[in-house]
Amino acid sequence: MRNAGTSGTKAALYDAFAASGKALASGKRLELLDLLAQGERTVDALAKAAGLNLTTASAHLQTLKQAGFVATRREGVRIHYRLAGDDVAQLFALLRKVADRHQAAVPAARDAYLGEDGAAEVTHEELLARIDAGNVVVLDVRPPEEYLAGHIPGAVCIPVAELTDRIGELPEDTEVVVYCRGEYCALAYDAVRLLTDHGRRAVRLDDGMLEWRLADLPVRAGTTA
Amino acid sequence: MRNAGTSGTKAALYDAFAASGKALASGKRLELLDLLAQGERTVDALAKAAGLNLTTASAHLQTLKQAGFVATRREGVRIHYRLAGDDVAQLFALLRKVADRHQAAVPAARDAYLGEDGAAEVTHEELLARIDAGNVVVLDVRPPEEYLAGHIPGAVCIPVAELTDRIGELPEDTEVVVYCRGEYCALAYDAVRLLTDHGRRAVRLDDGMLEWRLADLPVRAGTTA
DNA sequence: ACAGTAATCCATAGATATTTGGAGGATGCA
DNA sequence: TGCATCCTCCAAATATCTATGGATTACTGT
List, in order, residues 6 or more apart from B126 with CB less than 8 Å away: none
Q: Which pLDDT value is given to residue B187?
A: 96
Nearest to A103 among B20, B29, B87 (CB): B20
- The amino acid present at A219, given as its one-letter code, is V
Q: Which nucleotide, over all strands, has the C1' atom closest to the CA of A54? A: C7
- Whose CA is closest to A138, among A186, A168, A170? A170
Q: What is the 3-state secondary structure (H, E, C) of chain A?
A: CCCHHHHHHHHHHHHHHHHHHHHCCCHHHHHHHHHHCCCCEEHHHHHHHHCCCHHHHHHHHHHHHHCCCEEEEEECCEEEEEECCHHHHHHHHHHHHHHHHHCCHHHHHHHHHHCCCCCCEECHHHHHHHHHHCCCEEEECCCHHHHHHCECCCCEECCHHHHHHHHHHCCCCCCEEEECCCCCCCHHHHHHHHHHHCCCCEEEECCCHHHHHHCCCCCECCCCC
Residue whose CA is minimally distant from D27 C1': A77
* Backbone dihedral angles phi then psi of residue B72, each to the nearest 5 degrees: -125, 160
Per the DSSP assignment, residues forming a β-bridge with A31 are: none
Using the structure, give the distance in angstroms from the CA atom of B47 to the C1' atom of C30, rounded to a whole number.
Answer: 29
Chain A residues 20-59 within 7 Å (CB) of strand D: 22, 25-26, 28, 52-53, 55-56, 59
Say whether the CB atom of A7 is under 7 angstroms from strand D.
Answer: no
Residue type, B158: I
The band of B119, judged by pLDDT with boundaries at 50, 70 and 90, is confident
Taking CA atoms, A219 is separated from A12, A117, A148, B106, in Å, by: 40, 28, 11, 33
Mean pLDDT over all residues of chain B? Answer: 93
Directed axis angle between helix B54-66 and helix B43-50, to 10°?
A: 110
B180, B192, B205, B209: the catalytic one is: B180
Is A21 in Cβ contact with B25 (below 8 Å)? yes
pLDDT of residue A2: 31
List the one residue out of B90, B93, B190 whose CA is nearest residue B139: B190
Q: Write out chain A's pLDDT in tens, 225 residues.
A: 333 333 458 999 999 999 999 999 999 999 999 999 999 999 999 999 999 999 999 999 999 999 999 999 999 999 999 999 999 999 999 999 999 999 999 999 999 999 877 788 999 999 999 999 999 999 999 999 999 999 999 999 999 999 999 999 999 999 999 999 999 999 999 999 999 999 999 999 999 999 999 999 999 998 865
**Which of strand D's nucleotides are less than 7 A from any protein C-beta?**
4-10, 17-22, 26-29
pLDDT mean over B51-74 = 97
Percent of chain B whose predicted confidence (pLDDT) is above 90? 91
* pLDDT at residue B179 in the model: 98
Q: pLDDT tens digit string along A110-130? A: 999 998 777 889 999 999 999
The pTM of this model reads: 0.94
Beta-carbon separation of A98 and B88 below 8 A: yes
Q: Are the CB atoms for B83 and B61 separated by under 8 Å?
A: no
Mean pLDDT over B181-186 rounds to 96
Q: What is the DSSP letter of B183?
A: T
User: Does residue B2 have a pLDDT over 90?
Assistant: no
CA dist., res. B33 & res. B23, Å (int): 10
Q: How far is the CA of B222 from the C1' of C26 (A)?
A: 30
Tens of pLDDT, residues A207-216:
999 999 999 9
Measured between its terminal Cα atoms, the distance across chain A in Å is 64
